[in-house]
Amino acid sequence: MNSKSDVIVKRGAKDSVFVHLFQDKKYVLQLYKALHPEDVDATEDMIEIITLENVLTDNIYNDLGFMIDKRLIVLVEAQSTWTANIILRALMYLAQTYHDYIAKEELNVYGSKTLDLPEPEMYVIYTGNKKIEKEAITLSEEFFGGRKTDLEVTVHVLTDGKEHDIIYQYVALTKVLDDQVKLHGRTREAIIETIRICKDRDLLKQYLTEHEQEVQDIMITLFDNETILKGYTREKVNAALNEGISKGEKKNKIEIVKKMLQESLPIDLIVRVSGLSDSEVKAIRAKMVN
């Protein structure tokens, strides 16, 4: 980092810390026991982390997935911006998780015997400012006006924990971060103060002590997608397109898309700004790679 003014806090910093935190089984166990305090006999040995990995850009990947003793699959997402679309994403994550489980266990989905599958549970830990009254959201209520369909999906909504459990501590950390960003802007100082305050308040103290530098690195970046996008506003793209009509509108769009791909902007963002289809953008990227 060259200077304090160069540093900005990632807008996804809170979610990134969540993903890093729950790579460790000891914290996953704490999370499971916060969700299922009745299971006093659960141990780390019973936990298998099955989070979908982001190996390729277009792969489905989630924040956290774990299985308990091959009897329960738990999927958890951390969200600072509210959207009911989390239900659809949870459905996609669950389908891929079951697909991977069935392949790993070499189960026959075409056989006559009913498969013995782990039960699913899906959660979203919401840390934004919007007040969410519901303890759970469903596909039927959010997308189909409460009408019964052939498919139902339920996602449990968590906005706080209980009695200083790990959910409470994580949510409290995000609130401290929000407060420090308001005081110091999106700077390194905001990160350092967040970590100091959380350690003083015994919020994820062991994790922050063991991984302090890693947490700083996770939460800080020189450029985020929003900063990069400033040079690619819709107005600028449209102006460039209009200027290049005589040269061929399509060709001009392609050049803009290539530049955005070189900046590693997300595909969905490029599609939205350029006006090209998802398949067209991916085809351009494939040609650039080859």
- Tens digit of pLDDT for each residue in 44-76? 999 999 999 865 445 678 999 999 999 999 999
pLDDT score for 5: 45
Centre a 10 Å sphere on the Cβ of residue 85 and count the other Cβ atoms it contains: 10
- Looking at the structure, do residues 214 and 254 belong to the same domain, yes or no? no
- Looking at the structure, do residues 85 and 198 belong to the same domain, yes or no? yes
- Looking at the structure, do residues 158 and 260 belong to the same domain, yes or no? no
User: Last residue of a domain, which of 207, 222, 237?
Assistant: 222
Specify the number of domains making up the chain: 2
- Looking at the structure, do residues 214 and 243 belong to the same domain, yes or no? no
User: Last residue of a domain, which of 222, 250, 277?
Assistant: 222
Neighbouring C-alpha atoms within 13 Å toward the C-beta of 145:
0
Mean pLDDT of 143-150: 94
Ordered DSSP codes for the chain: ---GGG-EE-TTHHHHHHHHHTTSHHHHHHHHHHH-TT-TT--GGGEEE-PPP--STTS---SEEEEETTTEEEEEEEESS--TTHHHHHHHHHHHHHHHHHHHTT--TTSSSPP--PEEEEEEEE-SSS----SEEEHHHHHSTT---S---EEEEES--STT-HHHHHHHHHHHHHHHHHHH-SSHHHHHHHHHHHHHTTSSHHHHHHTHHHHHHHHEES--HHHHHGGG-HHHHHHHHHHTGGG-HHHHHHHHHHHHHHTT--HHHHHHHH---HHHHHHHHHHHH-
- Looking at the structure, do residues 168 and 261 belong to the same domain, yes or no? no
pLDDT score for 60: 75
Mean pLDDT of 99-118: 95
Per-residue confidence band for 287, with pLDDT thresholds at 50, 70 and 90: confident
pLDDT score for 250: 62
pLDDT score for 283: 85
Per-residue model confidence as pLDDT tens digits over 234-284: 555 555 545 544 445 566 677 778 877 776 677 777 777 777 788 888 888
Percent of the chain with pLDDT over 90: 58
- Looking at the structure, do residues 209 and 236 belong to the same domain, yes or no? no
d(CA 136, CA 56): 31
pLDDT score for 238: 55
pLDDT score for 236: 56
- Looking at the structure, do residues 214 and 237 belong to the same domain, yes or no? no
Cβ proximity of 138 and 87 under 8 Å: yes
Does 168 have pLDDT greater than 50?
Answer: yes
User: For the chain, how far is it from start to end, CA to CA, in angstroms?
Assistant: 33
- Looking at the structure, do residues 22 and 67 belong to the same domain, yes or no? yes
- Looking at the structure, do residues 232 and 185 belong to the same domain, yes or no? no
| pLDDT, greater one: 108 or 280 | 108
- Looking at the structure, do residues 118 and 259 belong to the same domain, yes or no? no
232 is in which domain, residue-wise?
Answer: 226-289
| pLDDT, greater one: 69 or 14 | 69
Mean pLDDT of 221-234: 47
- The model's pTM is 0.74
User: Last residue of a domain, which of 201, 222, 243?
Assistant: 222
> Which amino acid, residue 153?
V
d(CA 226, CA 229): 5
